[in-house]
Amino acid sequence: MLPKLLYLSPQSSTFIRKDVELLSGRYRVTEHGFLLKGKALLLLMFLRQLFFLLRHVPSAKVVVVMFGGYHSFLPALMTKLLGKPCHIILGGTDCTSYPSIRYGTFRKPLQGWFTAQSYRLCTTLLPVHRSLMAQRNTYYTVDGEAQGCKAFVPGLNTPFVEIVNGYEEEKWTVGEKMPRSFITVGHFDDPDRLKLKGVDLMVELARAMPHCNFTVVGVGRSDLLSYLPNLNVKGKVDHDELQELFATHRFYMQLSISEGFPNAICEAMLSGCVPIGSDVSAIPEIIGDTGFILKKRDAWLLHELVEQLLVNSDLNRLGMDARERISVNYPISKRAAQFLDVLSEKCRLDMQH
């Protein structure tokens, strides 16, 4: 019988399903969701999780928690007491604090405390990019505001292993590209979220460049963005429609204030989109020399950058180079191998501090 693995998360998403799928070949995966809808239900969710852990941790070989937060505290504590390994995957928001845009786990004192204790108690932290441990964000602030979980958890010495996200090249295709077309994708349900992902800069660019076309996918409310004739606003789309949108757009924009290892830009690059990204976390490393980096969050600098790249005659080559870069550097097989090595403790001696 395969060893038992507990996989705990605060939500359900495509990348969580992908992790569960790759783990299922080596483990019997038992999942639990901590689907918090408001603080009023926090105690109820803790009790529900406690009963689940009491039932399953004693018979589990290993525990994996997606993201740090309220939901990671009890698993980290119980596994510590029982001598079981517990690995917490760090994704981005769980390592940051940006009060000005109401973003980041550590901007909330209570949630920050539970998260910090989780990071101290667990066996290993698994950031999707090493910058989530410690970084300075010079893109958003002049002085380079300190971010990363070490900035908010003094004296943190829990071992960490960087395990970047992985992608399946065959799920994304390159189509005929519309000239001067730009796209970005996310979950946009309030103005702060739009600013976090840089959509406000994209809208300013659309106003300044009426000869270009811009598409924003994932807008949850129709009143969030003003009407512009060259701005196409869409809600949530399924994989087939997203594949078609990526395949036919020339550029992908990831102008985020904060990120971990963003999936959408990688999927767009696999679709031959030329990436334009902010100088934040993993984004410059993902793009490499196949696209363009905005060094500061400034609408005028963005305008200048786009004006220059529109006269670039090598866009087809850059798009194909972008696809190859993701295919070679970030295949799902690489993530699977690294993940399974950590869980089997094969890389224990190589862990970074």
**Cα–Cα dist 318/272, whole Å:** 8
In the chain, list all ranges with CATH 3.40.50.2000. 4-166+332-350, 169-329
Assigned token pair, 319 = 């798009």
Superfamily of domain 169-329: Glycogen Phosphorylase B; (3.40.50.2000)
Judge contact between 182 and 250, C-beta under 8 A: yes
Residue 55 burial (CB < 10 Å; 0-12/13-18/19+)? exposed
pTM: 0.92
Judge contact between 112 and 106, C-beta under 8 A: yes
Judge contact between 31 and 89, C-beta under 8 A: no
SS3 breakdown of the chain: % helix, strand, coil, rounded to 5? 45, 20, 35
Written as tens digits, the pLDDT of the chain (353 aa) is 899 999 999 877 777 888 888 898 889 999 998 876 667 788 888 999 999 999 999 999 999 999 999 999 999 999 999 999 999 999 999 999 999 999 999 999 999 999 999 999 999 999 999 999 999 999 998 777 899 999 999 999 999 999 999 999 999 999 999 999 999 999 998 999 999 999 999 999 999 999 999 999 999 888 888 899 999 999 999 999 999 999 999 999 999 999 999 999 999 999 999 999 999 999 999 999 999 999 999 999 999 999 999 987 789 999 999 999 999 999 999 999 999 999 887 544 344 54
Q: Give me the CATH code for the 4-166+332-350 domain, please.
A: 3.40.50.2000
